[in-house]
Structures are given as C-alpha cells and as structure tokens.
Amino acid sequence: MRKSAWLLLVFSLILGAAPLPVRAAATADTDANAKVEANANVDANSNVDPDVNSNLNLNLKHFNFMNEKVTIDGVPMFLTHLYAEPIDRSDPSKGYAWVGDPQEGLSAVDDTARAVIVYAEHYKAYRDAYSYDMIKRGLEFLMWMQHDDGDFDNFVVRDEDGTIRVKDSHSSQKSFSWWAVRAYEAMGTALPLLGREDRALAERVNGRLALCLKRLKEKTDPLYGQYDTSSGAKAAKWLLEGDVWVSSIAVGALRAHSLAVNDASAKKAIAESVRKLGEGIYLARGGASFRDFPYGGIMHHSVGMTNPDLWEEWGSIQVRALAYAGQMTGNRAWIDAARMAADSFLSDLLLSGRAANLHPNKKPYPQINYGTASYVDNLLALYEVTGDKKYAKLAGIAGSWWTGNNVLGVPMFDERNGYAYDGLTDKEVNINSGGESVDEALRALLRIQANADARAYLRAKTVEAVKAQTVELEELYRGSAPPDAEMALPGGGLNDPDRALRKQSPGSGTDEAKIYADAKQVEAGTAIYPGWEGEQAIFVAASGYNNLRLFGGGAIETELPADGEPGRLKAGETLKLQFDARVEFDTTLSAEVLAVDAAGRETVVADARDMNYHPRDWYSGDNAVKTTPRAPIPAGTAKLVVRFRVGSSHPNPHEGYASLAGVKLFKMSVPEARYANPDVSGGGYVEMPAGQEKSFAVRVPNSGLYDVMLSSVAVASTAPASASAPIASASPSVSVGFDDGEPALASPPAGPAGRVSVKRIATVRLAAGEHELRLKNAGGAAAGLDALVLYPVETGIVVATPDGRRTAVVRDSVSGALFVGSPAEAAARDRIAVTAEWPEAGREKGSAKIAVTGKVTDGRGEPVAGRKVAVRAGGASGTAFSAKDGTFDLRLSIPASASPEGLRVTASTASGEGTAWILR
C-alpha cells in the first residue's frame, strides 16, 4: 500500500538507497521518454477533442510523460513513475522531472495498474491507438510482476546499467494485497477492449485473471465465518488481508472480472467471493443514524485494529464495493447501506468539510487526488446501481475540486499541461505531480465526463454554505490567556548544515546504507549540533529540507538551566515541546522534557507518549508534534533535559530511523491544555479539573436547530484538583449549557487513558450571534474535553454552474435524507421524520409486519396535513395520509424473506422523503 507523497518536497531527496534483492533481472531500453518533461512534449492524443468534451480539457501530456515506455526481456511495456517535481517551482509550465524513492524505487504495480485503467477509460471514450498500445504495454508489465501462485511484487528499481528489477520494501513485498487487487482490476477492465488481433494476449490475460481469483480465494475462503473482536467491534477475519479497504478494491476487481468473461462457472465463483467480501464489509458500517457518529459510514475495520472509529479518505471506496456487491448478489440491504453511507456520511464530509482521516475526529488536510477520486467512485457507482441522478450530480460536485472549487480556489488539474497537483491544505498547494495523483485525477475525470449529469457540475462553484461548526475547547481556554511563551532553546532548529558538527560523509547522498554506516560511528556523548549531543545520530543535508536522523538505539539531548533567572524557567511552570518529525516503519520515537535535581534524579514534566506516528508522514507546521505536560517543574530542579530516543525493529537497520528538526520549547499559559493525542480535534484538548467551572463567548453564524456533539477523552484517574471539588464519584461529570438554557450532562469515555469518543449530548435552538457557553465538571475526577461540534439539523450548500443554474444540496438529519435540486425546491420540500420497528406482538407470532410512524412538516417546522405518504420497505409498499398534526402511521407487511437486520424504510411525499432503519 502506498499513498500519494504529499510531503515529497520535504523528504524525497533525504532518503538513502538500499541494496536490492533480485527476483528476476531484466534489461530495459527506454524509449524516447526523457527524464525531464519538455514543454513541447505533447503527443497527438494528449488532448481530448473539444467537440466531444466541451466542458474540460483532459490533457494527457503529463500523464504520458509519467508512463515511461520500456522494453524488458524483449517485450514492450510501460511503467509509471512514482513521483515528479517541477523543474522550476516558480513556473511549473516548464515541465517536471521524475523523482524516485530509495525505499520504493522508480515505479510500482500500484500506480501502473491505475494508469492501465486510465488508458482503458480513455480508449473506451475516444478509441485512440496510443491508449490501446499503452493498455497492452501496461498489461505486459503487470503480468511480468505476477508470480506463478498469483501474488504480485510491487516496486521496481533501475540499476546504473539500465537493468530493471524487483525491489521489496517494508510496505510492499510479494503478496496478494493492495497492488495485487489493483492489478487484478486493471486486467479485468482491459480484457474486453483487446481486439481480435491480440487474441493471444487476451488468452494470457484471461489466464492471469483466473490465477488472481484462485489466489484471492486461497487467502479468504479458509477464514470464512471467523471473527476478530479484540477492539470491541466485530471484524471479519476472512476479508482480504483482514481489511475492509483492501477488500473493497477486491470487489471492484471481481466485478471487472465478471464483466470480462462469459464462462458461467467463473461467474459463479466470482459471485461467491463477492458475497463473502460483501458480508465482511457490511459488518464495518457505523450504525444507521444521520445524527450520531459515525453517521452510517463504513469504517476502516481490520483484524487487530485498536480504533474501530477509524476512517481514511484515500482509498475509501467501500460504498462502491457494497453497492456493486449488492447488485451482483441481489442483496438489497447492502445497496441500502451504501445509500445510507453516501446520503449521511459522505455528504457530511462534502458539505461540512472533508477529512484526510477520522479517528474519530477530523484531520482535515491534506486533500489529495486519491481521496477526491474516492468520492467520485462511490457516488457514480451508486448512480449505476440505483439510477438516482442525485448521486451523479454529487459526483460532479465532488469533482469540481479539480477545477478550483476547493478551500484555496485553485484548480488542482492543469488543463493546459495535464498536471494533477499532489494535494493542498488550507494554506498551500503541493505542486508536485506524481504518478498516483495524475492517475487518480484522470481516471475520475474521465468517468465524470462520461456521465452527462455529473459532467454538468465539473465547473461548479459553491456560493452558499450552512455547515457544522467545530468549537475547539483548548482554543477557548487559550483565548482568555496570554500566548504560550517560547523559551530560548539553542540549536533547536537542527536544520543548518553550516552549524552541524557531525554530518553524513561526502558522496553518501541519498544512500541510506551509507548514512547508517556514518551514524554507527557516532558514540554516546558526541556533539552533533551546537548544544546537542548523542549517539547513532547524524545530520543529513537535503534539497528543500535538512534534519537530524536518529537510527535505532540513537538518542540526542540538550540541557537548559532552570534557576528562575529572567528569561529562564523555574519551579511551578508547565512546559510544552514542539518539533517536526518523521518516523519510518517499525520505528519508535520518544520525546521527553525532564527535570533533574542536584542529585541527578529525573522527573518527566512533558512527553509525547500518546503520539501515534503514521510511518513516513512528516509532522510539521500546524501538524508539528506537541508534547503533553505531565507535571509542573518541581521545586529543587537544577536543570532541564530535552531528550529524544529512537528504537527500531526494522529488518533493514538502515531503513529504521526517525528524522527530527524544528525543536521549540514553550512555557504554557494554560496548564489544562493537553497535546500529542492524534485522535483529538485540532491537535489538543483540555483536562478540566474536578470542580472547575468555565464560561466562554461562542459566536454562531446561522440561526437554527443544532445537534451538539461532544468530543471527549478518557483521562487517567487523578485526585480532585481543589479542596472545594465534590467527591461524589470517582469519575468526571460534565455539564454543557448555552446561555440560560438547561445544561446537558455528559460522561467522558471510560476505558484506557486517551480513548476519544464523539457523542450527541443535546439539541438546542440558537439564534445567530454570540452566546455564552457554560462548562462545569461536577464529578470527582478530571475530564478530558476536546471539542464541541454544532451541527445544524440541516446542512447544505448551493453551487452555481457556468450556465447560470443554481443547485442546492441539503443533508436533512431529522428526515434522514439527502436532497439535490433547485434552492426553491429545497426550501419548499416536505420534511418527514420517520420511525420504524418490529412490534413485540408481531415478533412473538413471527409476523412479517413493521410499524411505521412519522410526521410531515414544512420548512418552518409547522405540521402539514393531508399529505399522501408512500411507505416502502423490504420490497413492500403501503400508503398513509398525514393527520392535522402532520403525523401518520402504518402497519406494513413485508416479505417473510426480509430481515430486520439492515431494513431500510422510506416514507415519501410528492416533495420530500424521510428514512428510518430497523437494526437487530
């Protein structure tokens, strides 16, 4: 598995090359492709005919550049380069240069398979000879990377003599995992496009598809019916790699295989695997509520997971997988679950703000092509399966990210040159344009272009928005206090090659093995950077970024006086350490601030023990690592020590390291603030002492009804903070109120310290303007409070398209429905709140009847009488009429085969819809 290298600019040139295992060496003769992209390098097939595509110019220039034609063992192939950086960062139009990675090589099955699918989509639309030739070349490369048992290698590297050979890395070895199922899907997508003249190739591809199916079954079937419950959630062990995300790609591959073959026995075997994977994916759905987290989303469950609330935007095509699995197996519940996840969960992200990941709080950035394409894939699949045009329209709106409908207003696909920029944050665009980025962008855009309803919204712009508002409680605490004071920390930058005292040897460049050999010569107590000493650590110089690299067993530290002199730290003060870091696979990084007394006794006053690093991600800027205070500086402290240690169990020691720079030390003005927990919102939370009361001013942008969601953190048991604190219980008891309204009571989560939960605690009506937020911890222990999220019960946007049309998208959490239509229709629609259940009497008698009740109201919340309400569930339907107070009720007989697990009930009028679910 490999994500787009969002911070490639930061780290692409600081990594060293490793010795390469050889599976099968093969010589490669590159074609006319240059390592540097020339501005004039435009193939005749680079630009889509404007008569066919009047909306967006899907220029293939850069895509073709990234796909290098090679000849291996005499066979014409192509491979997709992993990364590319602009030749001149001030002017990307001058072209790009390929950039490799010492741990990943120059190309991967993962990206080349994606590129084959892009060429297939392009060929289906335009029937051009160039795309057809590249499809064949790509298929040859994928088959060359497949083993006889069906597994695939992923990465390849090119030696100095031009030999291309397989390279294992920690994240990618011979297996049937992410890259394998992507290759499987590429072969299934391409096979029906091969002409009669390529019958021999088609037969070989068909054989490889059968091999993929065989290997998938070997990896999944023996575990069918077994579950993992170690996290408290039920995960299917039989999923491919035990993982919902990988299995979702596999469903797409199985579907492509099924569509590509006519053999009945093969189709039956494929359908059996789809059914089993669908069962496992369905288990990961997060309830069926628009109003309670995780809002019906299908979460990233896997065997051995520690956080069942995890979801990641990149690769999140589980909605597509369930929709296709439901269609292929005739399972209505799976299609309904996919609709629920799209209507509630995905729409919430598109309307109130996307998330790179949830765990359970949003990490909003970076936004990348792989993530954007996932929304498109999910929504277009739902349109294919259900025929509901709202999903196609929403796919087009999601795709408008590429034309500039994003937080920065910057087009992320350059129509003139064909660049798909790697990603953005709310502050900047990463203008690198790697293989994954351009693959994902073009594949999704081609699919949008092929759908008239989606295509109409590609250039949409959001002109109005009503969205959820996150109130960061640590920011409220800090808002009434002075800023944290940065203290002098000599040499904390750790990034100036002119100041570094121990550097990598000349000529080691990006060779990780050579850098490791240099670091091994650094013994304990060696001065590495002014003010810092350590062992097995060395300064690494790089283009764009410089840092200290600490290998397994390495450490660095510095000392500071704590004598209370002006500008220095003293007893009673609380500290926060902040730093930039990146940690490799199978590697740990500890960061501590220690108070040391005259006898040498150490007390930890701050550390980052709660930090869970994602391997090979840079944490810097707003996402820099911050420690949590553990104790004030104790009396009698003689000095402070800032210490970093690295441990690694990586099988290749030269690849097990942490990179470090930008170390800063702060005296905290808000001792309740806590950091280093990656699951919290905004990077921090507060530990509210028992007995504490606080009030803050909070501004609400729009009048309306709001669901109040509280994100809270389990805190290790502590004594009451003050003598006046009540000791009524051993746990916290928090109340949250607005103005003079009745406060809501909330109990932060139990369980291991650091566990985060998001729960709805109240529904309040608030007018636009400023309100008093009142917090109180009346319990007997400290409470970890992270954030409040104020969710309007109706969120939505209005987008404008170039033809002057305006379209509203409304997520109605009371009705449990997603509406897409004109703003006038949105305002005039009926709101329908629905509940449904199996009556107890019916259960006793085995009756197949459900009780459906509800209420129809208008946009002002007033009841609507006399509405004809059509109710549907489990393939059955019935009719009711709303009474004077807007209510209706109905007993609906459903087929005996319908299951109460996952039964979706809809109630609709001529101008509105509501949904409810009956879950076992």
pLDDT tens digits for range 810-822: 999 999 999 999 9
Min mean pLDDT across 18-22, 385-389, 601-605, 893-897 is at 18-22
Per-residue H/E/C for 552-618: EEEEEEEEEECCCCCCCCCCCCCEEEEEEEEECCCEEEEEEEEEEECCCCEEEEEECCCCCCCCCCC
Mean local confidence (pLDDT), 629-635: 95
Q: What is the mean pLDDT of residues 719-723?
A: 42
> Using 50, 70 and 90 to split pLDDT, how confident is the model at 904?
very high
Contact between 828 and 857 (Cβ < 8 Å): no
Highest mean pLDDT of the ranges 14-23, 246-255, 625-634: 246-255
Mean pLDDT lowest among 272-281, 602-611, 670-679, 724-733: 724-733
Model pLDDT, residue 168: 79
Q: Does residue 24 carry a pLDDT above 60?
A: no
Query: What per-residue confidence (pLDDT) applies to 5?
Result: 45
Please tell me the predicted confidence (pLDDT) of residue 683.
87
What percentage of the chain carries pLDDT values higher than 70? Answer: 91
* pLDDT recorded at residue 101: 84
Q: What share of the chain is helix, strand, coil (3-state, %, to 5)?
A: 25, 30, 40
Question: Mean pLDDT in the chain?
Answer: 90
Q: What are phi and psi of 64, to 5 degrees?
A: -65, -40
Decide if pLDDT at 518 tops 80: yes
Task: For residues 608 and 606, give the distance between their C-alpha atoms in angstroms, rounded to a whole number.
Answer: 7
Q: Are 205 and 187 in contact (CB under 8 A)?
A: yes
β-sheet with 806-812: strand ranges across: 461-466, 794-800, 806-812, 817-821
pLDDT tens, position by position, 130-155: 999 999 999 999 999 999 999 999 99
The sheet with strand 849-857 has its strands ordered as: 831-837, 849-857, 887-893
For residues 542 and 581, the answer to whether their CB atoms sit within 8 Å is no
Judged against a pLDDT cut of 50, whether residue 1 lies above it is answered with no
Is there a cis peptide before residue 792, judged by omega within 30 degrees of 0?
Answer: no
Give residues with Cβ within 8 angstroms of 349, minimum separation 6.
313, 355, 375
Q: Answer for the pair 142, 113: CB distance below 8 angstroms, yes or no.
A: yes
Tell me the Cα Rg of the chain.
29
What CA–CA distance (Å, rounded) separates 577 from 625?
8
Q: What is the pLDDT of residues 442-483, one digit of tens each?
A: 999 999 999 999 999 999 999 999 999 999 999 999 997 999
Q: What pLDDT is stored for residue 717 in this prediction?
A: 60
Question: Is residue 110 over pLDDT 90?
Answer: yes
Which of 19-28, 473-482, 828-837 has the weakest average pLDDT? 19-28
Checking if the pLDDT of 824 tops 70, the result is yes
Domains and CATH numbers, the chain: 23-221+366-382+395-457 (no CATH), 224-364 (no CATH), 472-479+680-794 (2.60.120.260), 485-669 (2.60.120.260), 813-918 (2.60.40.10)
Question: Is a pLDDT exceeding 70 seen at residue 412?
Answer: yes
Neighbouring residues of 217: CB distance < 8 A, sequence distance ≥ 6:
269, 273
Most confident of 30-44, 54-68, 423-437: 423-437
Question: Burial level of 816, CB count in 10 A (0-12/13-18/19+)?
Answer: buried
Q: What is the average pLDDT across 274-287?
A: 96
Categorize the per-residue pLDDT at 840 as very low, low, confident or very high, splitting at 50, 70 and 90: low
Structure confidence at residue 2 (pLDDT): 47
Q: How far is CA 416 from the centre of its chain?
A: 29
Q: How far is CA 331 from CA 243, 273, 323, 388, 899, in A?
A: 21, 14, 9, 18, 11
Confidence of residue 68 (pLDDT cuts 50, 70, 90): very high
pLDDT for position 23: 38
SS3 annotation, 312-328 = ECCCCCHHHHHHHHHHH
- Asked which of 213-227, 537-551, 823-837 is least confident by mean pLDDT, the reply is 537-551
pLDDT band (50, 70, 90) for residue 11: very low
The DSSP call for residue 499 is T
pLDDT at res. 287:
87
Mean pLDDT of 105-110: 95
Q: Kindly state the percentage of the chain with pLDDT values over 90.
A: 80
Name the residue with higher pLDDT: 750 or 68: 68
Among 12-26, 595-609, 685-699, 890-904, the range scoring the smallest mean pLDDT is 12-26
- pLDDT number for residue 51: 35
Predicted TM-score (pTM) of the model is: 0.91
Backbone torsions φ then ψ of 176, nearest 5 degrees: -115, 75
Q: Which of 231-235, 338-342, 494-498 has the lowest mean pLDDT?
A: 231-235
The predicted pLDDT at position 263 comes to: 95
Per-residue pLDDT band for 113 (boundaries 50, 70, 90) equals very high
Binned at pLDDT 50, 70 and 90, residue 311 comes out as: very high
